[in-house]
Structure 1
């Protein structure tokens, strides 16, 4: 996991395991075969929308006890290049960290699909840790992997510190990002045109992202109301192998910083089951449609990183 630009969220770009699940054909075609496909899909859309943000209190009696609601993962992140960036000392957001890291993530499922999670980091080369490279990050909100559901997340990947100096806080809550999203699958016949395997499936998510306060490099000060729209899709190629990408639209192009991408991408092997290993390549650097617009040391394939993680439950 790495520090991201303002306006990006963990479920969109940082970890493929938070990307929208591709929807199996069995889910779309699970209704009566005599029912018109348009009617079936309309029912699935309404079911997804109407079930979003539910608080199933009745499940608490029959559901898992609180101590079994925890899940976790350990991660090793290896950057393809290690290049320290130079930004003003007061910056708490900046380029993706280019430092070998180890991290531990904990997630607690509160009720239904409401959750809170946090990640702690260890930097193998402490001298490369920048002010915006966090000691810890945190996310909370609602996210359901099922198609046609809404999500609402708050995420903070800024320069959070366990032991801050007198001029730095543990965390700047206003510099986190709120994201309202909606998941949907790519259905037939479009998925057949886009997939090159029989098992291929594509799930997408559109998000509105709002960051109350962000660091502006040109003015060297903090500004307000950073806003983007994003569209991310995950293509399940075969088995647990996948590729994903997210594109961003900035409502105010002047808010885009050198490390803010036009798009991000990744690929690898991901298994959501506990006790499994995931291997990924991800690139969250300042990728640009026009390579001439890239910031220094950003937007190249080698500016991405490889991560290996192991997930488990208590």
Structure 2
């Protein structure tokens, strides 16, 4: 099971009803009234965009003593990841990164809120079949940076899902920091009229995030060497269908197509039931394998529905 931060659903529904006894404009002022309403909506959205951008990367030192004590800023979750297939991996040892989707895993994740929306988190994994753990399947992963669930805010994250080891072999490092990925993102909601066309429920909401991703060092299959500067642009959206039920997807564009490896996806997707409240259960299906828009181009044993996995998680606080 991959530890990925799912996008918050920050659009609060899209249906707005007018009260039956609301005052109606005089016929001669209909056009002007429409213009004023349009301007008001534009100003409101502009204000939200400005507030989101202006509040991004805040360091609220003034509220440090007033916020939750440091020892209560922890939260976490325990998860069981169940693959849909147990086909042995056929990729080279340095080919990919991330927990195995061909081995049942248990994981424990902890997140510490440093200040405001600045945080650091880590996840430890246990593989039920140690023989299936590959070189790129990590003992632990970690993420840190800034992320605010509110719309129109920027985020900056570093994530490392490589083959990190608690006890590396002689001559090896516990983690290769340069093989992690830096992501600069911007969140935004999908509003009217688009939400009316895309949603099939009255309470449906869609939130999206645009990211620029940079990986300093990546493994290149063609040369069997580590190269530098892999860059992608991604657009991910989460559709909250009703309540905590959702479906999401992310599309990737490689600025240099020669940098795309067989295990690098054109898109990822998932669906399930997600509840961020502590003491709740979350059930999800996720597929991060080498999905291709053209299925004939996908690598062996990648990009199929059965190459995804199901996770069952329990969240908690201290």
Q: How many residues align?
A: 297
| Structure 1 unmatched runs, 5+ | 3-13
Q: What's 2:25 paired with?
A: none
Root-mean-square deviation (Å): 1.8
Q: What's 1:42 paired with?
A: 46
| 1:25, distance to aligned residue in structure 2 (A) | 3.9
Q: What's 1:263 paired with?
A: 267
Aligned to 1:154, what secondary structure does the other structure show? Answer: strand
Structure 1 runs of 4+ with >2 Å offset: 86-89, 92-96
Please give the alpha-carbon distance, in whole angstroms, between the structure 1 residues aligned to 2:214 and 2:300.
Answer: 26
Aligned to 1:61, what secondary structure does the other structure show? Answer: coil
Matched, 1:93 2:96: yes
User: What does 1:212-223 correspond to in 2, within 5 Å?
Assistant: 212-223=216-227
Contact conserved, 2:95 with 2:221, CA < 8 A, in 1? no
Contact conserved, 1:240 with 1:270, CA < 8 A, in 2? yes
Q: What's 1:10 paired with?
A: none
TM-score by length of 1: 0.91
| 1:200, distance to aligned residue in structure 2 (A) | 0.3
Contact conserved, 1:139 with 1:154, CA < 8 A, in 2? yes
Q: What's 2:234 paired with?
A: 230
Out of 5, 24, 28, which is 2:12 matched to? 24
Contact conserved, 2:13 with 2:204, CA < 8 A, in 1? no
Please give the alpha-carbon distance, in whole angstroms, between the structure 1 residues aligned to 2:91 and 2:41.
Answer: 54
Q: Highest relative contact order (Cα 8 Å, sep 6+), 1 or 2?
A: 1
Please give the alpha-carbon distance, in whole angstroms, between the structure 2 residues aligned to 1:176 and 1:101.
Answer: 22
- 1:176-226 Cα offsets, whole Å, 9 max, x none, are 000000000000111011000000000000000000001111211111101
TM-score by length of 2: 0.90
| Structure 2 unmatched runs, 5+ | 18-35
| 1:88, distance to aligned residue in structure 2 (A) | 3.6
| 1:82, distance to aligned residue in structure 2 (A) | 1.1
Matched, 1:169 2:173: yes
